[in-house]
Amino acid sequence: MVDMRTRHRGALGRAGEDLAAAHLVAGGLDVIERNWRDGRRGEIDIVAWDPRSRTVVVCEVKTRIGTRFGTALEAVGADKLRQLRRLARAWLAAHD
């Protein structure tokens, strides 16, 4: 059974990802994939394409309702950045 806090966190995370995707699209990027998983190695929240710079953009979305547990930026440390780089390489290898 899923408790209310888990359900709330999931809904909050999805809402944050929806907002982030809309922000990217408003900025001229094309969202090409969401919640891409590389097996058990991890997940990329959003993969986007910037047609102006011809760049693939990998986005980690952290949604917070306050700063009691730190800011969203503080939640992405060196380990998470290393994981995102590995996932980005795996995504690129899986897509032309």
Q: What is the DSSP string of the chain?
A: ---HHHHHHHHHHHHHHHHHHHHHHHTT-EEEEEEEE-TTS-EEEEEEEETTTTEEEEE-----S-STT--TGGG--HHHHHHHHHHHHHHHHH--
**Mean pLDDT, rounded, for 1-9:** 68
Contacts of 35 (CB under 8 A, 6+ apart): 17, 43, 44, 45
pLDDT surpasses 60 at 1: no
| The pair of three-digit structure tokens given for residue 53, joined into one six-digit string | 């710079």
Q: pLDDT class for 83, splitting at 50, 70, 90?
A: very high
What number of CA atoms fall less than 13 Å from residue 58's CA on the CB side? 17
More confident residue, 5 or 93: 93
Q: pLDDT class for 4, splitting at 50, 70, 90?
A: low
- What pLDDT does residue 68 have? 82
- What pLDDT does residue 67 have? 78
